[in-house]
Structure 1
Amino acid sequence: MQHLRILGLGIFALVAPTLAGTVDPLDLQDGDVIPGKYIVSLKPEIDVKVHLDWVTGVHRRSLARCKTVGLEKTYGFGAFNGYAGEFDDDTIAQILSNENVLSVEQDRVARLTSVTQQTNAPWGLESLSSRSPLANGDLRGHTYSYDSTAGEGTFAYVLDSGVLTNNSEFSGRAIKGYNTWDTEPFEDNFGHGTHVAGTIASNTYGVAKKATIIDVKVVRGLGYSTVAHVIDGINWVVNNATGTPGRAAKSVINMSLAFSPSTALNNAVDAASAMGILSVVGAGNDNALASTRSPASASTSLTVGAVHWNRTRASFSNYGSCVDIFAPGVDVASLWNVEGVESVNSGTSMSSPHVAGLALYLKGLEDGLDSPADTVARIKELATPDVVVDAGIGSPNLLAYNGIA
């Protein structure tokens, strides 16, 4: 059975600019600000516990505290420390004036980014393993060539709506990791996360067919999330991957998500990279500069734009110097959140997992790709140059390729 779904915009979100000096908690013009909810980033090398005790005390003493929850989530990995919570105006004013605070953002919602040959493969897989242009964009009927190592021993942390981990297409290689939503079932009710995971590592649709999928649910319902939940997911991933010897170097994070610029989210991505974990992200679906989106604008993210089967940049795909590479992102067939259902989606949400899978494929095949920087450099080195039509002003004209001879 085939399920046709075109995600022209994918999952997206808007995040308020970093606040400085004063707070305007009632600026609801975009319709997605969560009143009273904030994300606070702390300066490095401070005593985090002392600060958290201080902010808890400030909130407790506030006359308006009964209307707000206070501290809800804390983050800590590498150079990134921070927290999220619901604070009244008096408390947030004191937080802004604290010398240990790097930035404060209003939280917002996110609404939904040996050689073996596989025959009858989706067009995106043939594109990834061919220097030559494709003859057509048929959903199936293509040939995917790849080394039989196929990403074995590598790990994809999929930050999304959840994954149907018991889908037979994963052959037991998909596991539950972390659900950032305490009150939500650890299931994929949207389908987006399962589609993304299928492109990374499923038997039929996957780039790295032997990689392990780790489900990190940051999106609930039919596409709702917040910046705070995404950072919470990254926080868990870093601590999980670095807590298992050798795993960080064999792991990637995939985020098929696009937000307006967020200092906190970009810093979290960069801190994860410093800990050895690469984040592969969609460029966004606005036909605009990718620098207007996070985490696409993070300095260490591997940012992926979308192309049609004929190598033309998708009309929705963001572009510019923040884009690192292009990959298939239009009419991409993959799994859905129902066993046996094939879904066809479009968006940079679909191009990102092609490259996440490619990163894992190469990590499983080659030595010397332990660091995010080395992995990104290798992917760019292998890419087919100067074939993307209308790549967009400032974009590198590179199309993802797996290097198969």
Structure 2
Amino acid sequence: MSNVKRIVALLGFSSGILASPLIAKVSSEGTIVPDKYIVRVAPGTYDTDFESHLSWVANVHKRSLSRRSTAGVEKTFNVGDFKAYAGEFDAETIAEIEKDGYAVSVEPDRVVEATALVTQAAAPWGLSSLSSTTPLADGSSSSPYIYDGTAGEGTYAYVLDSGDEFGHGSHVAGIIGAATYGVAKKATVVDVKVVRGLGYSTVAHVLDGYSWAVNNITNTPGRVSKAVINMSLAFPKSDAMNSAVDAAFDLGVTTVVGAGNDGKDASTKSPASAQKAITVGAVAWNWTRADWSNFGADVNIFAPGLDIPSLWRQPGQVSVVSGTSMATPHVAGLVAYLQALYPLENAAAVVEKLNEFAVKGVVGNSGSGGANVLAHSGVVSV
């Protein structure tokens, strides 16, 4: 059995509608990329109207006396009812876009960092937890992981991550599908590089990779019911990112995301605060929420996230990492595992099955407002 079967989709890094009177409020947190913006238009906008708007923006930008060397529109995004564009604009052009009333949100692009806390070596207890109905005695590897032999066969896990020059993406992919560390050992991992080698990206680039993944899934016959997108990323709340995730859900696509590692309410983070994402918080081996794991009403489920061993950059290299970045692929791997076993036609069916098998009310210090449920495979260790 191979370690992790991968299809690699490398998205190159760039340097770097109906009228609506309301512009959505955007987050003021995070590091802003100068002169870079993401603009979302109204849901259901016709393609022809969107193209007309883009032409208008290009003309406005061209006429602007203060445009200097800004590039204008650089990327467009189209996921179901979600349409948006990103680019480099001067203040005068952005003011015209906002005044025109066609956009429903205009937000500055921001820096995105892969979330992870590297710690000392520990045993792979996370898999054991998925087939146990009681907390483990400690974080050792002595407890078994019991699973059906289908092990995610015929499913596809799209990992939006670091590629991998950084190690983060390999670690996440290993938790999903590696022979030793993976939840769904026979799943095919599709790598979608959205994070640079040092663990940095931008919201626009993440959105570009996410749009590619959703469209690849929906344009491949039979893929929607056999695919999951993993985003072990957390950044300041983005209307565009959240809207894309919600639109993908409406197309049937399952997206599993990390709650973030700030020890705060997840409502300030994206894609964690997307209403139709499966947002994952992290627990330790005793099923208590890790003190750094975000919490709140946007957290849908918890999974192992403390001292999790998995693959790293070099062949044979193993690293032990903590974070909701590690909890997220436990759930994404579980989704792939369940998709291979059950006729889960869309994301709504996946959510229902996860909730059916989850262990209820066992997460210690789960935080206020969120669901107190722990990920479980439905197979019980005896």
TM above 0.5: yes
* 3-state SS of 2:181 partner: coil
1:51 corresponds to: 53
Output one character per residue of 1:64-102: Cα deviation in whole Å (capped at 9) or x when no partner.
233211111111120011100000111111111123211
Measured in 2, the distance between the counterparts of 1:249 and 1:383 equals 20
Q: Which residue of 2 aligns with 1:386?
A: 361
How many angstroms apart in 1 are the aligned matches of 2:23 and 2:193?
34
From 208, 211, 220, give the equivalent of 2:187. 211
Q: What is the alpha-carbon distance in structure 2 between the residues aligned to residue 391 and residue 23 of structure 1?
A: 29
Q: Percent same amino acid at aligned positions?
A: 58
Unaligned runs of 5+ in 2: 1-21, 116-121
CA separation in 2, counterparts of 1:391 and 1:295?
20
Q: In 1, are the aligned partners of 2:25 and 2:105 still within 8 Å (CA)?
A: no
In the alignment, the residues of structure 1 paired with residue 82 and residue 207 of structure 2 have an alpha-carbon distance, to the nearest angstrom, of 10
Amino acid paired to 1:152: E
Deviations along 1:119-162, one digit per CA (max 9) or x if unpaired, are x9820000011112212202x33311000011111111101111
| SS, match of residue 144 in structure 1 | coil
Alignment correspondent of 2:239: 263
Residue equivalent to 1:401: 376
Give, in whole Å, the separation in 1 of the partners of 2:219 and 2:274.
Answer: 24
Aligned to 1:4: none
Question: Is this contact kept in 2: 1:355–1:400, CA < 8 A?
Answer: yes
Q: Offset at 1:373? A: 1.2
1:121–1:142 contact (8 Å) kept in structure 2: no
Letter in 1 for 2:133: R
Distance 1:250 1:121 in 2: 30
Partner amino acid for 2:287? R
Residue of structure 1 in register with 2:300 after alignment: 324
- Residue type of the partner of 2:213? V
1:32 aligns with 2:21: no
In the alignment, residue 356 of structure 1 is paired with which amino acid?
A
Question: Which stretch has the larger CA shift, 235-244 or 345-354?
Answer: 235-244
Please tell me whether residue 338 in structure 1 is matched to residue 338 in structure 2: no
Of 90, 93, 96, the residue aligned with 2:98 is: 96
Partner of residue 184, structure 1: none
Q: Which residue of 2 aligns with 1:158?
A: 159
Query: How many residue pairs end up in the alignment?
Result: 351
CA contact (8 A) 2:230 2:257 kept: yes
C-alpha displacement of 1:23: 12
Partner of 2:250: 274
Distance of aligned partners of 1:101 and 1:317 in 2 relative to their CA distance in 1, 3 Å threshold: same
Does 1:130 find its partner at 2:105?
no
Cα distance, 1:31–1:43 mapped onto 2, change above 3 Å: closer
Q: Say if 2:24 and 2:105, in contact at 8 Å, map to a contact too.
A: no
Distance 2:352 2:264 in 1: 25
Q: Which amino acid aligns with 1:72?
A: E
Q: Give the Cα separation in 2 of the matches to 1:128 and 1:373.
A: 21
AA matched with 1:381: E
**Residue in 2 aligned with 1:110?**
112
User: Out of 202, 207, 213, which is 2:178 matched to?
Assistant: 202
Q: Is the 8 A contact 1:22 1:96 kept in 2?
A: no
Match of 2:68 in 1: 66
Partner-residue secondary structure (3-state), 2:68: helix
Letter in 2 for 1:107: D
Residue 333 of structure 2 aligns with an amino acid whose one-letter code is G
Selected match of 1:244 from 202, 220, 224:
220
Aligned counterpart in structure 1 of residue 346 of structure 2, from 355, 371, 381: 371
What is the root-mean-square deviation in Å for CA atoms of aligned residues? 2.1
Aligned-residue offset at 1:288: 1.1
TM-score, normalization: structure 2? Answer: 0.88
Q: 2: CA distance between counterparts of 1:366 and 1:206?
A: 19
Q: 1:142 aligns to what?
A: 143
Which segments of 5 or more consecutive residues in structure 1 lack a partner in the other structure?
Answer: 1-19, 114-119, 163-187
TM score, norm. by length of structure 1: 0.83
Q: Is the Cα–Cα contact under 8 Å of residues 24 and 239 in structure 2 kept in the other structure?
A: no
